[in-house]
Structure formats: structure tokens, C-alpha cells
Amino acid sequence: MITRREFLKISALTLAVAITPEGYKIFRAEEVPSQINPNLWIELSKDNYLTVLINKSEMGQGVYTGLSMIVADELDFPWERVRAKASPAGKLYIDPKMKEQLTGGSTSVRNMYFVLRKAGASMREMLLFAASKKLGIPKKDLLAKGGFIIEKKTGKKHPYAEFLEEAKNIPLPKEPPLKKPEEFIYIGRSLPRLDTEEKINGKALFGIDAKIKGMLYAVVERPPYFGGKPLKVDKSDALKVPGVYDVFPISTGVAICGDSFWACEKARDKIKIKWSESPLMNWNDEDFEKFFLHKLKEKGVVVKKTGDPERVFKNSEIVLENTYLLPYLYHATLEPMSTLVWVKKEECHIYVPTQWQTSVIRSAEKITGLPEEKIKVYTTYLGGGFGRKANVEFVEEALEISKKTGKPVKLIYTREDDIKSGYFRPMNAAFIKASADKKGNLTALSFKIAVQPLLGGRASVEGLEDMLYHIPNLYVERVDVDLPVTYWFWRAVGSTHNAFILETFLDKMAKLMKIDPVDLRLNLLKREPIARRVVERAAEISSWGKTPRKGAVMGFAYHYSFGTHVAEVAEVILDEKTGKIKVPKVYCVIDHGPVTVHPDLIKSQMEGAICMGLSMALKEAVRFEKGGVKNTNFHTYEILKFEEAPEVEVEILNSQRPMGGVGEPGLPPIAPAVANALFWGYGLNITRLPLTPEYVKTLLTRKG
Amino acid sequence: MFEIKVNGKWYKVSAFEDEPLLWVLRERLGFTSVKFGCGIGVCGACTVLLNHKAVRACTLSIKEANKKEILTIEGIPSHHPLKRAWIKYQVSQCGYCQPGQILEIYALLLENPSPSEKELTEKLNGHLCRCGTYVRIKKAVKEVVKELKAGGKK
């Protein structure tokens, strides 16, 4: 890990990007004032490599590639000589907008785009000034291109590195000229990802791969139901397993340490634990359902009230209401939670696949008593994140175990541990009611949700209270639920349920109104030209309204989240005998703002979000038995498989407005698009997920 | 003491008799490219070749693998058509499941250089990818199979 002091020693040209009270600033590394905390470093080395030290976690979204190419474009530097590295963690590296070192909320590129361009341009200008001085040629007769300073008259080429020493003494240009869009060499192009080769040659290091000589392995046995704590532990038989070091209770369960993972696992089978009782310990699926539906009848917090929906309902001919119930969802990162931690007297080292370094540090300060500067966090590659790896309970467990044993400890969750630990997308029950006039408008909409609140409840109603559809009378109420089941952010968060409920309900209204669902959306988006264009293009590229492929039905959905508009059209085939659903093709149109940095990364994010959203729609629900998770591995908590992945056609649109995110917004529309296809094609009134064959058959019978 | 050959080199290693090959490879020999995903043989992340056949290293004991030959992703050269296709289609996202996916198809192609779509689908259905790289895996694998068929005809 490179520290700030070491940066200054390296004979390279290094710039730092920092947020100050006046906004973003760029500094020469030597001149960063001590009170300023840069969050990104850009280094051009003597051997002519550009290294970008990135404060965001690479979890598959391609952030190392995306951010580096913005710098490399303005610097005009050859892509094959660009390297990206994980920055260290700490106050120096916090995201200026979120005030945390956190990768989430689909923010990385949109928060950093302009300042990274300015940094690249500053470095380019400094090199030009330096070259002009050293070569004795006026700056206007020089050109910076492809990693070379070129003498315009003679065509003679000098690698940038030739001017590093001089450039270090050039003052930072105040307003370096930024390239015009037509001068971009990378922005807008799909460059090869920087991490592909490591990932297919087995060299990429994930959290679970970290290693220190002499480390212990640890596993944690957790309570069989949420809300339990270990009361009594009989470890006598477990300690007889060769290689087992110790067994002891920690905050979340019982830790088993040994010199190999397998020794820990063998010992785990031999411990006898008495757990404290929990109010949930006899709850099965039906109990959760009853509880949430009951909660929905309680009075909650009014989040939004415009006009008077109740009065409008009374005077309307077209009124509809539905109650929805959606399950807890598991993140299912392929790399389970895992970290290597060493709590020493003087300092603490943490190797971790985390999305939230600041939270890791806060936990380490609390558990070790050490100050921030003694806590070294090394961010590894993340084998999937999806929000789950922004939670740090696994790091806290490892810290407790290492503190107690005094040894480096690698904690590994088995798949069962990973599911049983929870931190799910929260379950919820919701009531929705709307009325319409005869001109194709919704006149009022009322929505109430009972859910465990995220971000103080704000995230739980996102996509509703801030929806772009124009409905003159709107009411949103939230009932906060308190349960020992742990819950957390899951890719696209509140929009995963709210978009499903709103978008499927819109189609049910459209049918009552005898209007095409795309037309209904266009009516409701009259004041939103960008959203309208996204809806229109999705209809066009999917030949909406024309005859779909044989046996297929089509469904439409649109949602705005994380600053980005996405419309998706799903082609759905239902086998009425078996209740099985196949989605051969999805059309996706995205408008994420003014600039597309890397079209193929956006495309891969849309493909991935559609697969995850389709998985949620067709297969996923955490099931409970006696207050604990019943489906504890992939044979029972199934996720989308290879043959179930649809062909995805993506169209990217740009519009002049602040940049939106791309990691999450592709997910919310797919589940309602699939459900809407089944609604129009087969009359299924879907109010629950997942669309398992059993549920679909029940709906088919009900209809008949 | 057990003996296994990994990527052409013999290793002696002591482990529990029932210890899965996965953990022996990862922890005792340092082949961390072999990934832990489920421990029950359903996700495919731990796939390696054992005597030229794809196996799930998480459910195969070191005792069963003793004296046998193992191939991991490091043993497939960078210029292999599968790896080239993976780069061409920019398949990987988080990358965690990718060695297992590639090794599965590598093993299938050893056995049968022109597998049917049904055979490919059957094999790949056993490999979970949460990032949703399936769409691209399909493209990459189809191209390699096509390439091999064309090569075979020459």
C-alpha cells in the first residue's frame, strides 16, 4: 500500500484530486496542503506507465476501467500502458458527495467525470510546458498524442516520461483546456477492460484469497433463527479435532478457529450450543406473511400528500386497488463473505472485499481501540457485491476473533452461513389504489407499504414519492416494521419492490381504462420529454403493438432511478400446463445523461441487472422455518441459470442533464415487464413474487 | 500424505482424508484460482479437471484425487481459443465464477470438439453467475466451437 509520504518520494509526476470547500481541486503531489485530503492519485512513471489509484471498489461493474479511461483520454495516453489499482482506505479517499469511502448508489462515474478529465488535461498541459522548456520549442509547435510529445515541424516523437523531471516543477495549470467531444480518443468507446486477463488467468485476488503466514482460519456458527444468542457452549469434543485452535462465543455466534478451514468445519459439527430464545423462533413463511399484512393495517408515516386522493376516489368511475406481498431476497454474491484481519497491539490490517471502507474503519476503531491511521485496509477484488458487501458484520466478527486470539485470522462464510447471516432485501406488504378519468389520465394514486426501513425509510419509498408520472393527487404512507431479521441494500434497493408494484398496477389500470399501457405511460409523462423518448424508443425497437414471435406475449415497464431512465420490454413464453416461464428476449433502452464513457460497460450492466431482476421475478424468495432460513444453499435458493438468461438488446440514449448512474437502474423494470406480459397475455393478476410454476398455476386456475 | 499432479507438477501434501480437493488446492498448495462457492457441487465455481474430466473440487475428497492429475485455469495457456474469446467478448464482470466456466467447456471440448448446443447448455447450466455474464459466455463459447469445427474440416 502506498502512503501519501511515499508518493512524494517516487520519481514520477503525480497529481492528486481532492474535494475542498470550494469544490474539486487538483494538486501537484508535492503541494497538497496538509489539511487537504485527496481521494484519487494519478501517477505517470519514469518507465512511461500511467497508474490511477482508485477509491472505488471493483466488483464487476468495470469501475477501474471506466475511471482510468477518463484520465487517459485527456492525457492522451496509450491504453495498454494504463494500470488501475485499489487506493488505500481512509479519510483521504472519501467520496466527496457521499462523504464516505463507499461504492454504491450507482455514483462512481457521475461523481468523478469532470474532475478526472481536468486532472488528465492538467497533466497533459504540464508535460507540454515542460517539453517546450527542455526542447526550446514554443508550446504551440508541440503536440501531446498517444503518450508522446510530438514536434509538429519535424514529426520527432519523445515519450512523455522524458519530461517528468521538468514537469514536476511546472505550476499546475488553472484552467487546462479540455478536449472537445470530437477530440476524445477513448470516451464513448468500448475499450478492453483492465481486469479481464487477471480474471481468466487465475491471478485476480479476491477477499477469500488473502493470506498471511501463520494465520488461523475461522468459521462462525450462527443461531438457527434470527434473534438468538449463544448461552452455553460445549466445545470439549470440538477441541479434540486435530488442527483446532479454539472455540469461543462472539457477538453473533460461536467462533471456531483452526489451522485449516476443514479442521474448523469438522469441529463445527461437534459443538453443542444452547441458544437464547427469540420471538421468531416458531415463525414459518405463513407467519411472516400474516405479520406483514397485519402491519399494513397500522398507521404509518405520511411520506407524501399532494391533493386529496380519497376524495377523488369517491367521485371516480374507474378505481382499482390491490395488495402486494414481496419476499426477503438474498444477494447471493458468488464469493461469500470472507476477510483476513490481523489485530496487533500497535496496528490493524484488514484485507477485505468491501464496498464501504469507511464503515470497515469505523468498526475497527470501535473494536480495536486504535486510531484511524493505525488501521490499514486493503481492498481486494469483490466476487460480486450488489450492496451486500457494503455491510461489515463479517469484518467485525473477524476483528473480534483476531483480537481474542492475537493472530491473523481469515474468516470464511460457508454458503449456508452466508444465507443465514441475512442482510436481505426487506420483505414488504403494500396496498395500492388508483383512479382514472376517461381521457387516459390517472387522477389519484394512494400507496402504503409496510417494510423494515432503509436510510431512515427514504430508500423504502424511492421510485414512488419521487416518481416522474404526473398524478395530481398522490399519497404515500410507510409503516416501519421492526423484526430481528437483518436487512440491507440489495441492488436497486427500494425500486426493486416499488417499481414492481407501481408498474404492474399501471398495466392493470390501463386495461380498465381500455388504453395501451405504453400510451398510458406517455400520457403520464407529458411533462417529461426525456422519459417519453425512452418509452417511445423501447416501444419502437421492440416493435410494440405488432405480433410478437410465435407463442410469446410482450410486457412493458419503465422506471427512473439513480438519475437514469430505463424502459424494458420482455418477450415471455408461458407453458400453461407446467406454469413454467421462459423469457427469450429483452429490449432495454437507457438514458443516463449527457455522456456515455464506455458503451459496452453500460451494456454489460444492463445485461447483468436484467439477469438479476429476472432471477428475482422467476425464482427468488428466502423461505423460513422456525424463525430461520429454510433454503440455505443454491439447490434450494435458486438463482437464474445459463439457459434462462435472455438475449438482451440495449440502446443507449443521451440527453443534456446531470449524469445518471448505470449499476442499478437496469434492474427494476424487468420483473414488472415480465408480469405485465402475463397479465395481458393470460389475464394473470400478479401481486406476489416469485413467479414459480406453482404460483402461476394457481393464478391460471383462479382466472378460469 | 497425498500426492497430486497440478498443471504438470507433482505435489506432496498432508491433509484430512475427507478434506475436499478444493481446500487442499486453495489453502495447502496456494491455487486460489479454484473458487469456493457452495460446498455442495451445485454452483460450479470450484471446477477443475481431474484426469482430463471436469469435476467439482468441493465435493471430491483429496483421497479420491490421490495420485491423479489436476488442471486449473493457470494450466490453460493465455492464447487458448477459449481465453481469447473471453477477451473478445469481454465476458467477465466480477470474475469469480469465470475459471470454473472456462474449465468446464475446456473439458467438454477435450472430449468432444464439436458439442451440440444441448450439450453446451447442459454443462453451463451447472455454473452459476450472479453478475449475469451468461449472455456473453454463450457468444464466446459458440464462437470457439465454430472455430474448432472449421479447423477440424481443414
CA dihedral (A434, A440, A443, A447) positive or negative: positive
Q: Do A415 and B125 touch (CB under 8 A)?
A: no
- pLDDT mean over A7-12: 60
Same domain, residue pair A428 and A562? yes
Boundary residue ending a domain (B54, B75, B96) = B75
Measured over the CA atoms of residue A494, residue A499, residue A500 and residue A501, the dihedral's sign is positive
Please name the residue of chain A whose CA is at the shortest distance from the CA of residue B31: A202
pLDDT tens string A58-88: 999 999 999 999 999 999 999 999 999 998 8
Helix (H, G, I), strand (E, B) or coil at A7: helix
Distance of CA B81 to the CA centre of its chain: 15
Measured CA angle at A43 (ends A40, A45), to 5 deg:
165
Q: Which three cell numbers stand for residue A503?
A: 408498474
Does pLDDT of A5 surpass 60? no
> How much is the pLDDT for A26?
78
What letter does residue A176 receive in the DSSP assignment?
A: P
Average pLDDT over chain B, rounded to an integer: 96
* Smallest CA–CA distance from A353 into chain B, residue: B94
Rounded-to-integer distance, Cα A122 and Cα A569, Å: 44
In a domain, A197, yes or no: no
- Burial of residue A439 (CB within 10 Å: 0-12, 13-18, 19+) is exposed
Q: Which CATH number goes with the domain that contains B70?
A: 3.10.20.30
Which helix (H) or strand (E) segment holds residue A617: the answer is helix A599-618
Residues 6+ apart with CB under 8 A from A306: A472, A473, A474, A475
Residue A91 has what pLDDT? 79
The minimal CB distance from B96 to the residues A335, A634, A648 is found for: A335
Which domain range does residue A467 map to?
287-328+424-703
Residue B152 has pLDDT above 80, yes or no: no
Residues A44 and A102 in one domain: yes
Residue of A35 and A166 predicted with greater confidence = A166
Rounded percentage of chain A residues whose pLDDT exceeds 70: 96
Chain A residues inside the 8 Å CB shell of B98: 199-200
- Residue A698 identity (one-letter amino acid): T
Contact A634 B128 (CB under 8 A): yes
Domain that holds residue B70: 2-75
Q: Is residue A638 domain-shared with residue A499, that is, in the same domain?
A: yes
Query: Distances in Å between the alpha carbon of A365 and those of A102, A328, A379, A531, A588?
Result: 17, 32, 17, 45, 45
Which residues of chain B lie closer than 8 angstroms to A385, CB-CB?
Answer: 94
Let me know if residue A114 belongs to a domain. yes
CB spacing of B92 vs A647 below 8 angstroms: no
Query: In B8-133, which residue ranges form alpha helices assigned H by DSSP?
Result: 21-23, 62-65, 81-88, 98-111, 117-124
Give the closest-approach CA distance of A383 to chain B in angstroms: 5
Do A261 and A351 belong to one domain?
yes
Residue A460, CB half-sphere, CA atoms under 13 Å: how many? 29
Residue A38 confidence (pLDDT) above 80 = no
Answer whether A334 sits within 8 Å of B94, measured CB to CB.
Answer: yes
Question: Considering CB atoms only, which of B31, B94, B99 is closest to A382?
Answer: B94
| Torsion from C-alpha of A310, A311, A316, A319, nearest 10 degrees | 0
Q: Answer whether residue A202 is part of any domain.
A: no
User: Do A247 and A391 lie in a common domain?
Assistant: yes
Residue A409 · residue A510 · CB < 8 Å:
no
Per DSSP, the three-state class of A72 is helix
Helix (H, G, I), strand (E, B) or coil at A66: helix
Rounded Cα–Cα distance for residues A41 and A58 (Å): 17
Residue with cell 478444493: B22
Question: What are A255-272's pLDDT values in tens digits?
Answer: 999 999 999 999 999 999
Q: Which residues of B touch A197 (CB under 8 A)?
A: 78, 87
Report the residue from B33, B37, B135 with minimal CB separation from A202: B33
Domain-ending residue, one of A412, A443, A477: A412
How many Å lie between the alpha carbon of B45 and the closest alpha carbon of chain A?
8
CB contact under 8 A, B124 and A382: no
Q: Supply the pLDDT for residue A651.
A: 98
Cβ-based contacts of B135 with chain A (< 8 Å): 607, 611, 645-648
Alpha-carbon distances of A481 from A71, A284, A487, A665, A688, rounded to whole Å: 46, 17, 11, 26, 19
CA A208 – CA A383 distance, rounded (Å): 9
CB contact under 8 Å between B28 and A646, yes or no, is: no
Give the chain B residue nearest A337 (alpha carbons).
Answer: B37
Same-domain pairing of A225 and A301 = no
For the stretch A593-606, what's the b/e string if a residue is b when 16 or more beta carbons lie within 10 angstroms of its beta carbon?
bebbbbebbbbbbb
Minimal Cβ distance to A381: which of B39, B95, B132: B95
Beta carbons of B83 and A206 less than 8 Å apart:
no
Cβ pair B35:A217 closer than 8 A: no
**Do B87 and A610 lie within an 8 Å CB cutoff?**
no
In terms of domains, do A215 and A68 share one?
A: no
Residue of B nearest to A262 (CA): B19
Which of B31, B79, B94, B134 is the best mutation test for A, with the most CBs of A within 10 A?
Answer: B94
pLDDT at A596: 97
Contact A606, A650 (CB under 8 A): yes
Q: Which helix (H) or strand (E) holds A604?
A: helix A599-618
CB–CB contact A334 B96 (8 Å): yes
pLDDT at residue number A14: 84
For A633, the closest chain B residue by CA position comes to: B38
CA-based nearest residue in chain B for residue A217: B27
Same domain, residue pair B53 and B89: no
Residue type, A51: T
Instruction: Identify the domain boundary among B55, B75, B95.
Output: B75
On the question of a cis peptide bond just before residue A472, with omega within 30 degrees of 0, the verdict is no
Q: Do B70 and B6 share a structural domain?
A: yes
Q: ∠ at Cα A119 (A117, A121), nearest 5°?
A: 70
Q: Is the pLDDT of residue A1 over 50?
A: no
Query: What pLDDT is recorded for position A42?
Result: 86
What residues of chain B lie within 8 A of the CB of A634, using their CB?
37-38, 40, 42-43, 128
Are residues B70 and B89 both part of a single domain? Answer: no
Half-sphere exposure of A385 toward its Cβ, with a 13 Å CA cutoff?
33
Does B63 share its domain with B90? no
**ipTM, interface predicted TM-score of the complex:** 0.97
- The answer to whether position A656 is within a domain reads yes
Cα distances (Å, whole numbers) of residue A27 to A83, A132, B21, B56: 21, 22, 51, 52
Q: Which of B53, B75, B97 is where one domain is finished?
A: B75
Interchain proximity A198–B95, CB inside 8 Å: yes
Q: CB within 8 A of A624, min separation 6: which ones?
A: A283, A284, A285, A287, A288, A630
Chain A residue with minimal CA distance to B131? A608
Whether residue A193 is contained in a domain is answered as: no
Mean of the per-residue pLDDT values of chain A: 94
Task: Give the C-alpha separation, A585 to A605, whole Å.
Answer: 16
What's the mean pLDDT in A516-529? 98
CATH number for B145:
1.10.150.120
Distance CA A196, CA A203 (A): 10
Q: Would residue A165 count as lying in a domain?
A: yes
**Which of A196, A612, A643 is closest, CB to CB, to B87?**
A196
Chain B: closest CA distance from residue A201 (Å): 6
3-class DSSP assignment, residue A399: helix
Sheet containing A82-86: order of strands: A23-28, A13-20, A38-44, A50-54, A82-86
Domain presence at residue A194: no
Q: What is the CATH number of the domain that holds A617?
A: 3.30.365.10
Residue B53 predicted with pLDDT over 80: yes
Q: What is the pLDDT of residues A192-242, one digit of tens each?
A: 999 999 999 999 999 999 999 999 999 999 999 999 999 999 999 999 999
Query: Do A199 and B92 count as a contact with CB atoms less than 8 A apart?
Result: yes
A357 has a pLDDT exceeding 90:
yes
Residues B71 and B93 in one domain: no
Q: Give the model's confidence band at B109: pLDDT under 50 very low, under 70 low, under 90 confident, else very high.
A: very high
Clarify whether residues A114 and A44 are in a common domain.
yes
pLDDT tens per residue across span A140-181: 999 999 999 999 999 999 999 999 888 888 888 889 999 999
- Closest Cα to residue A239, out of A268, A275, A217? A268
CA B20 vs CA A215, A340, A502, B17, B24: distances in Å: 20, 21, 48, 8, 7
Secondary structure string (H, E, C) spanning A452-494 = CCCHHHCHHHCCCCCCCCCCCEEEEEEEECCCCCCECCCCCCC
Residue B52 corresponds to which cell in the numbers above? 482430463
In the predicted model, is pLDDT for residue A123 greater than 70?
yes
C-alpha to C-alpha distance for A549 and A540, rounded to whole angstroms? 16
For residue B76, what is the nearest residue in chain A, using CA coordinates?
A: A201
Domain stop point among A389, A412, A435: A412
User: Pick from B19, B86, B94: which is nearest to A200 by CB?
Assistant: B86
Q: Shortest Cα distance from B103 to chain A (angstroms)?
A: 10
| DSSP secondary structure letters along A326-356 | E--B----SS-SEEEEEE-SS-EEEEE--SB
The pairing of beta strand A338-343 with beta strand A318-326: unpaired
Residue length of chain A? 704
Q: Collect all residues of chain B within an 8 Å Cβ-Cβ radius of residue A416.
A: 39
Q: Where are the beta strands (DSSP E) in A160-280?
A: 216-221, 230-234, 244-250, 253-258, 272-275
- In this complex, the residue of A198, A331, A633 whose CB is nearest that of residue B38 is A633
Q: Which of B23, B38, B78 sits opposite A415 (nearest CB)?
A: B38
Nearest Cα neighbor of A424 from A136, A573, A628, A233 is: A628
In angstroms, the CA A426 to CA A488 distance is: 7
Instruction: List, in sequence order, the alpha helices (H) in A38-107.
Output: 63-75
Minimal CA separation from A574 to chain B, in Å = 20
Q: Cα separation of A548 and A573, whole Å?
A: 11
Question: Which of A334, A380, A647 to substitute to test the interface with B, most B CBs within 10 Å?
Answer: A334
CB–CB contact B95 A600 (8 Å):
no
State which residue of chain A sits closest to B119, comparing Cα positions: A643
Q: Which of B78, B121, B124 sits opposite A201 (nearest CB)?
A: B78
Q: What DSSP character marks residue B27?
A: I
Query: Cα separations (Å) of A445 from A306, A442, A494, A560, A625?
Result: 10, 7, 18, 18, 36
**Same-domain status, A118 and A9:** yes
Q: Tell me whether residue A643 is exposed, middle or buried, using C-beta atoms within 10 angstroms of its C-beta: 0 to 12, 13 to 18, 19 or more.
A: middle
* Co-location of A517 and A649 in the same domain: yes
Work out how many domains chain B is built from and give that number: 2
The CA distance from A60 to A221, in Å, is 30
CA gap A493, A110 in Å, rounded: 19
For residue B101, the distance in angstroms to the closest alpha carbon of chain A comes to: 10
Task: Looking at the complex, report in whole angstroms how far the Cα of residue B24 sits from the nearest Cα belonging to chain A.
Answer: 9
Q: What is the pLDDT of residue A28?
A: 79
At A206, is the secondary structure helix, strand, or coil? strand
Final residue of a structural domain among A349, A380, A412 = A412
DSSP 3-state of A393: helix
B74: chain A residues, CB-CB within 8 Å: 201-202
Strand order in the sheet with B47-50: B9-13, B2-6, B69-71, B47-50, B53-56
Q: Is the pLDDT of residue A47 over 70?
A: yes
Nearest to A304 by CA among A431, A448, A427: A448
Return left, alpha or beta for A247; rule: phi > 0 is left, psi -120 to 50 is alpha, else beta.
beta
CA distances from B78 to A277, A589, B106 (A): 55, 36, 13
Q: Are residues A452 and A587 in the same domain?
A: yes
Q: What is the CA radius of gyration of chain B?
A: 15
- Strand bridging mode A428-436 / A442-451: antiparallel
CB A103 within 8 A of CB A385: yes
A191 inside domain: no
A-B CB pairs within 8 A amount to 177
3-state class of A521 per DSSP?
Answer: helix
**Pair (A584, A697) in one structural domain:** yes
Confidence of residue A23 (pLDDT cuts 50, 70, 90): low
Count of other CB atoms within 10 angstroms of residue A31: 11
In the predicted model, is pLDDT for residue B71 greater than 50?
A: yes
pLDDT score at A32:
76
Partner residue facing B130 (CB), from A201, A332, A647: A332
